[in-house]
Structure 1
């Protein structure tokens, strides 16, 4: 049974200051690290190895964040602590001032702030894709932001590496079970395609960019079906080739279940009051056919971002190494394998008990 209580050894180092959020996955607090004197985000993951899916998610998040620890635009994982019950897990992250979802609600951003935020989001996504990582849960709540408008991308619980862009395990069929909001899901995710590419991230990037200017999500569907209706209302009826591009055996059945007449509310009309470059960029990202969307690299090269993008931003992408996890994403491992691998990383890289002696 999930418990909000904290193990004594954890509380000995981390003094809880306030509750940040909680859900089925666990609970997050703002805490003071007594050893360093800095505030951190302390996340207690309930039953982190409950089943194969949860065990793999836990393993991936820790391993990917360790690999990305030198990336200044990814939230840094500071500590991992095994709970006394041998079931829960504590993850300690650097604490950001707020997230983009909260900032959008305050409606305080100016156009130059929006452009800088978009540049950083696209750059970090391009870096992930160059390293063969798909985030798979891009949304404003997962973009943490500080007062200087610098951003950190967080929540890698659904991220995964890829050797190619085919999900041979059919993993995407289960992906939507873990997602709290469908508003940033691409058409191929909505129809549960067993094949996905980095294009699913680029759809979400387009949705976030549009929201930065509109002040609200561009597609607020109440169900998967409603979400598809809103998308088609905005983009128009997809061609047969576009439906086939989703790569799902269920895509035609789902499309046929939609109303014959769908009210038209073109995306370009929704964005008509914005700068022409913004409209052009969003219109090339929010595209039904995943093969026709801009890539992250192509987005960096779009005229709208020219003010911030440097030659080094582009050239360094070719020098980033592809991620290879010790337990490959292409292989299904047992719960015990994921669990023992995580515990071995804790023993090797995190020395919580030894550090307590310094207090």
Structure 2
């Protein structure tokens, strides 16, 4: 099974995403100590908009008897911009390693929350921080540079690829990506206790060779403390949970679950499920699908909201939103994620639970050998093989280092050639 022919990283426009998944053990081990540099020296000619060939240098080490080491990063191309600053692809001149550097203007009076959070996280489905250092310009502006691993594609770019060729994303990739999204969310929610607060296809990176997914951009992320108020104007509009639209300030990590549900629906549909063009219209788009929220649901979203003047609209049946051949388990998962009441949404841990893994393999397939299925129905055999690819990927490749095509080759050799064993024994 060949990897997807994906193009270069695309800048963020309207979002997109996918879902339907399985499970595996979460990696909750404490992250290894990352050597971070707080050196403010850098080449003076590098400003806030790095151009190809410009170099930023920093010194690491020098503590506890460690030798000092200079690392120089040459900017190659801009891969993202925003109010936060700029993200560019760079190459370390000493190691030839390609990295992504997020460069943000730093207020000297405050610590950078994104840096503090990234220092606490280490997981296969979360972007990793390699170094950090400060640089300054001739105007005495101070910039924080977060040096991260480089992943060449985003889920938005993958969705745009399928849209450009007028195709829907194959369900096997929807399942594979969704599983990893939930695995990453389950880690940040239950490990460091972080709420991402801006989950969308542009902030979900995909390696086009291994199909490993990594959550990125923790610029809006925060550790939520019960009883502590937070801003409600957060999260990109298409993926914004309804409690945020209702002005809730004491929300939970369930706002990420809503965003994940929107991403899943987009992966299945090929376009955003709730494409609102304003905050008010966003709620209208949600009501079109879920129906008018009840008083109890509004109370669950924001107890302080007292306006209840909404037209009574019935919920649209979920099975009518998706095409007829959509697997019922994919529709069921989407409906469990997109609930008005935050406490009724399934958790990220449940989304990455072993209970879902059996749904990847048809019931009849668990009772027959692969060769029996091959002899009766070739198309069913191929569907089974695709399901097994995901299962092998999840159980034997939690870190995501084995390309999907290698998984397929392994399974073909083991089952198609030898024709031994039952599916449930894998």
TM-score scaled to structure 2, two decimals? Answer: 0.63
Q: Single out whichever of 293-302 and 231-240 deviates more from structure 2.
A: 293-302
What does 1:1-359 correspond to in 2, within 5 Å? 3-5=48-50, 9-10=56-57, 13-46=72-105, 48-49=106-107, 55=110, 59-68=112-121, 70-84=122-136, 85=140, 87-107=142-162, 109-131=169-191, 132-147=193-208, 148-162=210-224, 164-166=225-227, 168=228, 170-173=229-232, 175-176=233-234, 179=235, 181-249=236-304, 251-253=305-307, 255-256=308-309, 260=311, 265-273=316-324, 274-301=326-353, 304-306=356-358, 307=360, 308=391
Q: Provide Cα deviations, 1:294-341, integer angstroms capped at 9, x if missing partner.
A: 111222238544444669x9xxxxxxxxxxxxxxxxxxxxxxxxxxxx
Structure 1 contact 268–279 (Cα < 8 Å) conserved: yes
Shift of residue 272, structure 1, vs aligned partner: 4.7
Shift of residue 192, structure 1, vs aligned partner: 1.9
Aligned equivalents of 1:271, 1:301: Cα separation in 2: 24
Aligned equivalents of 1:71, 1:9: Cα separation in 2: 28
Higher helix share: 1
- Give me the CA root mean square deviation: 2.7
Shift of residue 4, structure 1, vs aligned partner: 1.8
Aligned equivalents of 1:5, 1:124: Cα separation in 2: 31
Aligned equivalents of 1:50, 1:271: Cα separation in 2: 50
Structure 1 contact 281–302 (Cα < 8 Å) conserved: no
Aligned equivalents of 1:295, 1:5: Cα separation in 2: 40
Aligned equivalents of 1:80, 1:247: Cα separation in 2: 39
Structure 1 contact 40–95 (Cα < 8 Å) conserved: yes
Aligned equivalents of 1:20, 1:140: Cα separation in 2: 15
Shift of residue 75, structure 1, vs aligned partner: 0.7
Shift of residue 189, structure 1, vs aligned partner: 1.1
Gaps of 5+ in 1: 314-359
Q: Provide Cα deviations, 1:59-114, integer angstroms capped at 9, x if missing partner.
A: 2211221111x311111111211122352211111110200000011117321111
Shift of residue 201, structure 1, vs aligned partner: 0.9
Aligned equivalents of 1:74, 1:67: Cα separation in 2: 11
Look up the SS of the partner of 1:183 in the other structure. helix
Shift of residue 22, structure 1, vs aligned partner: 1.3
C-alpha spacing 1:195/1:291, structure 2 compared with 1 (3 Å): same
Q: Report which of the two structures shows the higher radius of gyration computed on alpha carbons.
A: 2
C-alpha spacing 1:302/1:222, structure 2 compared with 1 (3 Å): farther
Q: Provide Cα deviations, 1:106-146, integer angstroms capped at 9, x if missing partner.
A: 11732111101111111111111112221111111111001
Look up the SS of the partner of 1:171 in the other structure. coil
Count of residues in Structure 1 that have an aligned counterpart in Structure 2: 294
Structure 2 contact 74–90 (Cα < 8 Å) conserved: yes
Q: Which consecutive segments of 4 or more residues in structure 1 shift more than 3 A? A: 5-12, 261-268, 301-311
Shift of residue 18, structure 1, vs aligned partner: 1.2
Aligned equivalents of 2:313, 2:285: Cα separation in 1: 9
Aligned equivalents of 2:352, 2:74: Cα separation in 1: 41
Look up the SS of the partner of 2:119 in the other structure. helix
Aligned equivalents of 1:219, 1:267: Cα separation in 2: 14
Structure 2 contact 291–312 (Cα < 8 Å) conserved: no
TM-score scaled to structure 1, two decimals? Answer: 0.75
